Amino acid sequence: MKRVDVNQESEKKLFFHNYARLPIAVTHGEGVWLVSDDGTRYLDMISGIGVNALGYGDQRLVDAISSQAAKLIHASNLFMMEPQFELAAKLLSLSGLSKVFFANSGTEAIEAAIKIARKWAGQSGDQEKKEVLSLSNCFHGRTYGALSLTAKAQYSDGFDPLLPGTGMIAFNDIADLEAQVSEDTAAVFIEVVQGEGGIHRVSQPFIDRLKELREQYNFLIIADEIQSGCGRTGTFFSYTQVNADPDLVCLAKPLGGGLPLSAVIGSEKVADVLSYGNHGTTFGGNPVACAAGLAMIKAIEEDNLMEHAQEIGAFINHEVQKLAAKHPQILEIRQYGLMVGIMVDKEAKPYVGKALEKHVLINATSVNVIRLLPPLTISLEEAQHCITTLDEIFTEESAAAETSC
């Protein structure tokens, strides 16, 4: 077979054009650094869009994957497999909830949660109780149910009609919350920290009122922890920081240690909703992915990475605040553990290219937000390298603007 060149020209020929890939071909990673095919090292402040919590090459993760792959790569959910059972038990211990369903991706977890919510509501005997609500500025995924909850034009245009019986509550708007929920509401999805939305956290008064309305109208609260979970915000689940007390929790991204794995964790309230054949997946709960997930969680706990995320995140916040005093381009910083959003006074995407030229990988989201999601293992020195690079970029931009005047 003829060798395929890994470059932008080949990418255009081979793939649907749905990813704006960076113009580098990576071959491997070392710690929090990615290495390209020409040997260039890039400080990775994206970590696979929040996936690689342990960075690259963690031997515990490699050993867990290799050991399980040598035993059993796949058998399907027709069988009972030890890694699944162990990971399920660990997630129930961490959450205090009752049952687990494993899938492969965040959007699949959202789809499963929608189905559980609808079936739970139907069992109440009220056939009108079907409405599933989310919060404005959210992101829950790109399959039809998840896309219907996200409902941003940039994702949904051209894909109508979306799932009926869905709606949106204005983020942190208690009056709109009170106006939107009713006896017909089956569930409200929340991201305690909105990642794609620009690193915004739901307010405590909003959560408190949401819980009161749940008591009044009997609906489910579903926490999307796909980006904010697994220790990224300084606690294993971000919802514990606002006492959201969810009925369902969706996890993914870092859960499989870099392998495809997601989970829906449910309270006793929904523990008996699904019966045989109601929902399923061929690959969900793959034993290799589950073994990786167990190793990942164990490493987070052993290495105190949740506390580390708080410390490094606070350092980044402090240093960017100092940059903001120098650079008027920086309007605001929002930081929860190692979920960091730097709001700038223009479109943020050009900063991605400027950082890439300096061998630092950052991300832009919500139009004007630089998003940082580094591995939880990032050192103080590596975080400082990112800050120094941003300082250089803003300084150069200001100098160029002065020259052009």
Q: Is 260 helix (H, G, I), strand (E, B) or coil?
A: coil
For residues 281 and 107, the answer to whether their CB atoms sit within 8 Å is no
- pLDDT at position 358 is 98
Confidence band of 401 (pLDDT split at 50, 70, 90): confident
Amino acid residing at 297: I
- pLDDT at position 364 is 96
Confidence band of 138 (pLDDT split at 50, 70, 90): very high
Confidence band of 127 (pLDDT split at 50, 70, 90): confident
Nearest to 50 by CA among 191, 202, 215, 216: 191
Domains of the chain by start residue, with CATH: 8-57+304-404 (3.90.1150.10), 72-302 (3.40.640.10)
- pLDDT at position 5 is 86
Give 51-80 pLDDT, tens digit per residue: 999 999 999 999 999 999 999 999 999 999
Confidence band of 4 (pLDDT split at 50, 70, 90): confident
Give 66-125 pLDDT, tens digit per residue: 999 999 999 999 999 999 999 999 999 999 999 999 999 999 999 999 999 999 999 988
The crossing angle, in degrees rounded to 10, of helices 287-302 and 59-71 is 150
CA of 304: how far to CAs of 226, 235, 307, 344, in Å?
Answer: 21, 11, 6, 32
Assess whether pLDDT exceeds 70 at residue 405: no
Residue 290 contacts by C-beta under 8 Å, 6 or more apart in sequence?
68, 81, 83, 84, 86, 87, 102, 256, 261
Percent of the chain with pLDDT over 70: 100
CA of 176: how far to CAs of 74, 140, 153, 218, in Å?
Answer: 47, 20, 21, 18
CA of 126: how far to CAs of 121, 147, 253, 379, in Å?
Answer: 7, 26, 35, 53
Give 146-193 pLDDT, tens digit per residue: 999 997 888 899 999 999 999 999 999 999 999 999 999 999 999 999
CA distance 94 to 87: 11
Residue 192 token pair: 């305690």
Average pLDDT of span 312-320: 98
